[in-house]
Chains A and B, each alone.
Chain A
Amino acid sequence: MKALRNFLDKIKPQFEKGEKFGIFGSTFEAFESFLFVSDKVTSKGSHIRDNIDMKRTMSVVVIALVPALLFGMWNVGYQHFLSLGEQADFWATFWFGFLKVFPIIVVCYVVGLGIEFAFAQMRGHEVNEGFLVTGMIIPLILPPETPLWMVAVATAFAVIIGKEVFGGTGMNILNPALTARAFLFFAYPSNMSGDKVWIAEKADAFSGATPLGDALVGNIDKIPSPLEMIIGNIPGSIGETSVIAILIGAFILLYTGVGSWRIMFSVITGGLVMGWIFNLCAVNEYMQIPAWEHLIMGGFAFGAIFMATDPVTASQTNKGKFIYGFFIGLLAVLIRVVNPAYPEGMMLAILFMNVFAPLIDHYVIEANIKKRLKRAKKLINI
């Protein structure tokens, strides 16, 4: 560790402004602050800084994503061998999934970080760590059979149009990972939905439909049992299937205070409320399934824990978070049950509420100002 620090200190002067590698200043800064705590101090405003800077926050989220990732790798292999009707031991299964998933992660990081570094150089600001999480989430919400070039195109689109156009990390309106998925969903629908894409190299005769796909076409009896959906050994996007793995991640996020419990809680409430409303006025079998089952189907859990809670695109006010989360849950269930074109509503629900988050914040703040003005006026009158 010490040797690394010394090495960095030795080459640091070369990256100062005007020196030999001056133009790569922000690249150096990025690597240095990735390895060590940055020695930059604020020049004006508040000088008190918590240890929990963006790097720490992002690292926690990445750690929270690891259970879902590992389970996803295993499940990709498990589904593959299941569809072939073969038996394989644990490590062979995991290795198969690893070989499928790892290239997607590498492509995501290479393309995304490449663009981030290029923009940071061009604009002369430091590279933000925001993409560490995005690059990890994108693979987890894709089907295992997504071609790598599509992953690259979608990542580039998400980083450029979804993020850099607005000014980089912290300025984006839409969640970048979901922007990538939405791009793929509309651009290459045959690779993002249907029953062919959810199992890697599956045998043709084996049905690869996800629970949501089955439910939408009326095969309610084919939906896996709740236990299977909670454990997650079912076809689906790489990281979304296992509710247990996601709950471990949720625990990490909540314990460290990185993820907002308000959003998670209200997304789940919203989903349950919409499920109950459908139960009350059920006209088909899909509407009759118990409300809580919506929470463990498809990407609901993953979206509620990891994507709705994105601190940049969610509402900032505490009251706003409840409203924002509630409507995500409500819309997700509404879309998936009612709209035949979109088997999963979580992606569109979160993107939709991302757009509304600033508006919600605005009215929450306005309401607060009004309330306090009223109180102040009362005091004056007395």
Chain B
Amino acid sequence: MASAPAPSRWALWLPLGFFAAFTALVLFAMLRPADRAVKSAMIGRALPQFSLLAATPAQPGLARADLATGKPHLLNIFASWCVPCAVEAPQLRVLKDRGIDVVGVAIRDKPEDLARFFARNGNPFSRVGRDDVSAIQFALGSSGVPESFVIDGRGVIRYQHIGDIRADQVELIAQKMVEAAQ
């Protein structure tokens, strides 16, 4: 009885086979969004015409002309009500301290909420425009907040960063700024 053979040996490899198929499938699924993220339709295109009012009384608003000044800018789309934006604030401060001109677009926000947000998280922006209808956001092909765009001196989008800039991505952004300056 102890020597009763298994129905067939190869059947025992079936579980492993199914498991390998599962792994291959999810690997495929995980690799695909990665190359989807790299491909941004906006890179290499000039910014659309826009002119935004000032979001807070303390700082000027933002228009396309302010970005085509011969100097690269980092355009950050954010909101005071967005949690990842607060998480991102220290990284923006680091970028600003490195001499990068950071400008902001506040999405559907109020001046008093923004003032509170800046008091708590600091204000790295030289200009902040207000976009109450997400018009610029849609025009730039941005789907959420926060999102950042590297704009070169001619007002052309050179790089799009979706989501918050994490501490280990500061170098990447700085690198893109340098490339945009050339």
Is B a genuine binding partner of A? no
Binding site for B on A (CB under 8 A): none
